[in-house]
């Protein structure tokens, strides 16, 4: 039997979930209309008042909100409670444009940590576990979220933060860590480092909770095999609270969205039209239990599919697929849509490690796509002619997957810089022109 954290909520009937969502949506709309002039203006521009929103059937009447709104309203413009009621902020890394800052009351933190606790329990976590958290701490939500969730479960929590791989492995061995929480790219690097040191037998890990960036099924299998664990996906975003918006159960077929806290929609990113279950589109969230920073119809830019199909785990909350890329991260090369995950699938299917970099540039008014791929030590010792044959094989496979030509360069093991947080997979030099 799966070990549920809150079965009365996670396995509730559809009628019950809808009743919660109806009531909480109405309250949240009233809350933001009353307390956030920015929202009131947006609603007035659309000619609606809170009275127009009586249930989730009216959700489509509400305006969308985007990252640009969050930037425009930075830092306090979307705050829905007095600042004195807030106890924490978290923030996105903000590599482009202004950072996004999210505010939390103590109630908001509690609910967020509940969501993370559900994710840990869904991965088999109990109070007997040693939860090794090497997501970054600080402004990034990964560390604090999983840390708080682990406390709620009652597990021994190792607040390792990211970096210092030697120390990570030493603590893992000495303290017998059983659940690893980090980005999948760092998990792959840790797995590689543990195998190189021949320490697999000293590792007691049974599960990993990996998210914050896109990763493929091939990468999951690779990490699972190397570390002898079951690897679970976890999804979330700073704007909507952080990790734990959705998480995988033992079925590993999509992530259950915590529907008692968030209403999910999938829309056509071009028209804004709401799409039915099973259709691919942009994920939109409405938070219905937050006090300080509730967001209504927030466009995540993540592309995925929703499914209400019955899950063998017994949970009834809707499932989302892994994000299949972001509508804004998608690369358009020579007019063709290219998702880094497609390239990763080709590489991992052929036994290459998940260490690669995609470089897009412009030469003579034409796009150039280059993929640097690290070889395994075995491949590296191959004769030069074999390396060239491998490159040729990858060029053909990428052409078949993407429909366009990519230059492939096989490079020596360990030459592509490792990330301790989210991996930097794409370098788009065209932005510099």
Interface residues with ligand DLL (CB under 6 A)?
Answer: 92, 135, 141-142, 211-214, 233-238, 242-243, 300, 302, 322-323, 326
> Considering only CA atoms, which of 234, 237, 246 is closest in space to residue 293?
237
Q: Among residues 299 and 315, whose Cβ is nearest to ligand DLL?
A: 299
Q: Among residues 20 and 135, whose Cβ is nearest to ligand DLL?
A: 135
In angstroms, the CA 36 to CA 39 distance is 5
Smallest distance from ligand DLL to CB 323, Å: 4
Within 13 Å of residue 288, how many CA atoms lie on the same side as its CB? 24
The DSSP call for residue 317 is S
Q: Among residues 31 and 322, whose Cβ is nearest to ligand DLL?
A: 322
Q: Among residues 202 and 337, whose Cβ is nearest to ligand DLL?
A: 337
Smallest distance from ligand DLL to CB 94, Å: 10
Q: Among residues 214 and 371, whose Cβ is nearest to ligand DLL?
A: 214
In angstroms, the CA 399 to CA 16 distance is 49
In angstroms, the CA 159 to CA 135 distance is 9
Q: Among residues 69 and 302, whose Cβ is nearest to ligand DLL?
A: 302
Give me the phi and psi of 81, to 5 degrees please: -130, 160
Smallest distance from ligand DLL to CB 210, Å: 7
What tokens were used for 403?
A: 């429909």
Q: Among residues 168 and 300, whose Cβ is nearest to ligand DLL?
A: 300
CB 233 within 8 A of CB 247: yes
In angstroms, the CA 137 to CA 148 distance is 11
CB 63 within 8 A of CB 47: no
Smallest distance from ligand DLL to CB 232, Å: 10
Smallest distance from ligand DLL to CB 19, Å: 29
Smallest distance from ligand DLL to CB 296, Å: 17
Smallest distance from ligand DLL to CB 66, Å: 13
Smallest distance from ligand DLL to CB 407, Å: 27
Give me the phi and psi of 308, to 5 degrees please: -100, 15
Provide the pairing of β-strand 356-363 with 366-374.
antiparallel
Smallest distance from ligand DLL to CB 236, Å: 4
* Alpha-carbon distances of 374 from 100, 235, 280, 390, 402, rounded to whole Å: 34, 28, 32, 12, 20
CB 241 within 8 A of CB 208: no
Q: Among residues 22 and 92, whose Cβ is nearest to ligand DLL?
A: 92
Q: Among residues 178 and 341, whose Cβ is nearest to ligand DLL?
A: 341
Residues 6+ apart with CB under 8 A from 183: 135, 142, 210, 211, 212, 213, 419, 421, 422, 423
The burial class, CB within 10 Å (0-12 / 13-18 / 19+), for 35 is middle
Q: What 3-state DSSP class applies to 211?
A: strand
């Amino acid at each position: 039997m799966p070990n549920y954290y809150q079965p009365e909520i996670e396995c509730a009937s559809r009628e019950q979930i809808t009743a919660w969502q109806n009531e909480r949506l109405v309250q949240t709309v009233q809350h933001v209309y009353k307390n956030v002039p920015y929202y009131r203006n947006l609603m007035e521009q659309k000619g609606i008042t809170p009275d127009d929103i009586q249930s989730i059937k009216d959700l489509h009447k509400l305006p969308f909100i985007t990252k640009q709104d969050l930037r425009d309203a930075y830092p306090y413009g979307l705050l829905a409670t007095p600042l004195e009621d807030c106890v924490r902020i978290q923030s996105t890394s903000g590599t482009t444009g202004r950072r996004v800052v999210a505010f939390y009351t103590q109630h908001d933190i509690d609910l967020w940590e509940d969501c993370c606790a559900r994710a840990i329990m869904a991965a088999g976590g109990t109070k007997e576990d040693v939860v090794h958290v090497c997501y970054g701490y600080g402004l990034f939500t990964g560390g604090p979220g999983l840390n708080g969730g682990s406390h709620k479960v009652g597990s021994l929590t190792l607040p390792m933060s990211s970096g210092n791989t030697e120390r990570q492995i030493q603590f893992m061995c000495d303290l017998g860590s059983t659940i690893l929480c980090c980005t999948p790219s760092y998990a792959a690097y840790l797995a590689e480092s543990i195998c190189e040191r021949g320490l697999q037998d000293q590792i007691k890990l049974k599960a990993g909770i990996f998210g914050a960036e896109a990763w493929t099924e091939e990468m999951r299998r690779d990490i699972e095999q190397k570390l002898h664990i079951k690897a679970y996906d976890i999804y979330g975003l700073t704007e909507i609270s952080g990790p734990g918006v959705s998480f995988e159960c033992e079925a590993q077929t999509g992530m259950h969205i915590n529907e008692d806290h968030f209403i999910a929609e999938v829309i056509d990113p071009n028209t804004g039209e709401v799409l039915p279950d099973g259709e691919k589109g942009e994920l939109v969230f409405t938070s219905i239990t937050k006090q300080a920073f509730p967001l209504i119809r927030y466009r995540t830019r993540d592309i995925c599919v929703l499914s209400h199909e019955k899950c063998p785990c017994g949970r009834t909350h809707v499932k989302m697929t892994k994000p299949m890329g972001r509508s804004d991260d998608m690369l358009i090369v020579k007019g063709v849509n290219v998702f880094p995950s497609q390239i990763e699938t080709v590489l991992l299917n052929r036994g290459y490690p998940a260490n690669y970099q995609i470089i897009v540039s412009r030469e003579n008014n034409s796009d150039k796509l280059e993929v640097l791929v690290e070889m395994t030590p075995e491949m590296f010792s191959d004769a030069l002619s074999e390396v060239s044959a491998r490159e040729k094989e990858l060029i053909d496979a990428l052409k078949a997957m993407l429909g366009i030509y990519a230059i492939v360069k096989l490079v020596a093991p360990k030459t592509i810089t490792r990330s301790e947080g989210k991996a930097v997979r794409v370098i788009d030099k065209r932005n510099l022109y």
